[in-house]
Amino acid sequence: MPSRLVIAIDGPSGSGKSSTARGVARALDLSYLDTGAMYRAVAVAFLDAGVAPQDEAGVIAATVAADIQISLDPDDRWVRVNGRDVTTEIREPRVAQHVSAVSTLAACRENLVARQRTLMDADPRGCVAEGRDVTTVIYPDADVRVLLTADPQARLARRGGELGARVNTEQLRDQVLRRDADDSKLVDFTHAADGVHLLDTTHLSLDEVIRAVVALAKEIA
Ligand SMILES: Nc1ncnc2c1ncn2[C@@H]1O[C@H](COP(=O)(O)OP(=O)(O)OP(=O)(O)O)[C@@H](O)[C@H]1O
Ligand SMILES: Nc1ccn([C@H]2C[C@H](O)[C@@H](COP(=O)(O)O)O2)c(=O)n1
């Protein structure tokens, strides 16, 4: 394996990106970047500022102004925006409902992509980063690039298992299926680009998925 290793993982909601990326980062002693947490942090920032999701100029201004601090430790996840810890808040349904207002604006993406590249380069050991455009836009030169997929029913069941009674069926479908449809307007995370390994996780356990990605990393001379 190279002395510095970069692994990029993309996929739709509930495909297992975060859990897999954290497991791989632990197994290979690398830093971990949750790029989606940064989009979510910006959503909190614009909502906090009273900006309406339809106000594109307001959402862009909130993105550019957002001071985002994020942990790169797979065992200690936290994120702060504009000095406030929003680690728990970014997982709330109101954030999932409005985060696509950020991800569907090219200017917001450009701003976040530049920061994400810098964060991926911060640790000399290397990084495992996950999101929607890590394999294609943020780090197309990553040593290992993986697109995780899973059937919609499996993804709904996984996300439903996590959120439990906090959401009803309609809210669950909104968080997974509607969000994927909106988020894929500017980036493609359903087809594997050239050189990207496609891994269907529908019938795999989380451990099996982590082992498959670690094996791909170990194949590198
Ligand atoms: N292969 C798997 N088999 C069963 N459950 C899984 C698998 N991978 C992940 N999970 C579970 O599915 C849920 C969603 O996983 P995770 O948060 O990693 O997905 P994600 O792709 O990052 O989703 P999102 O983009 O919506 O944040 C978690 O509860 C996780 O433990
Ligand atoms: N590289 C990325 C990462 C995330 N997004 C968008 C899409 C999601 O709706 C939102 C939150 O991501 P999640 O926490 O669910 O992984 O951020 C994106 O467009 N590009």
- Angle, nearest 10°, between helix axes 35-48 and 106-120? 130
Write down the pLDDT at residue 1: 73
* Average pLDDT of the chain to the nearest whole number: 96
Write down the pLDDT at residue 3: 84
Query: Which of these, 44, 42, 43, 35, lies nearest to 9 by C-alpha position?
Result: 35
Binding region for ATP:
11-19
**Which structural domain, as residue segments, surrounds residue 184?**
5-220
Check if 100 has its Cβ closer than 6 Å to any atom of ligand 2.
yes
Mutate to test the pocket of ligand 1, among 38, 128, 158, 210 (most ligand atoms within 8 A of CB): 158
CATH number at residue 124: 3.40.50.300
Q: Which atom of ligand 1 is nearest to the CA of 22?
A: 18
What ipTM describes this predicted complex? 0.98
pTM: 0.97
Residue nearest ligand 2's atom 12 by CA? 36
61 dihedral zone (left: phi>0; alpha: psi -120 to 50; beta): alpha
Check if 131 has its Cβ closer than 6 Å to any atom of ligand 2.
yes
Q: Percentage of the chain surpassing pLDDT 90?
A: 94
Query: 25-44 pLDDT, tens per residue?
Result: 999 999 999 999 999 999 99
Count how many domains the chain has.
1
Average pLDDT over residues 128-135: 98
CA distance linking residue 62 with residue 158, whole number of Å: 32
Average pLDDT over residues 35-64: 98
Secondary structure class of 197 (helix, strand, coil): strand
CB-CB contact of 12 with 149 (8 Å): yes
Q: How far is the CA of 36 from the centre of ligand 2 (A)?
A: 4
- Check whether 150 has a pLDDT greater than 80: yes
CB-CB contact of 135 with 8 (8 Å): yes
Query: 73-96 pLDDT, tens per residue?
Result: 999 999 999 999 999 999 998 999
Other Cβ atoms less than 10 A from the Cβ of 164: the count is 7
- Check whether 119 has a pLDDT greater than 60: yes
- Over its C-alpha atoms, the chain yields an Rg (Å, rounded) of 17
As given in the structure block, the two tokens for residue 52 are 């309406």
As given in the structure block, the two tokens for residue 153 are 């029913």
CB-CB contact of 41 with 99 (8 Å): no
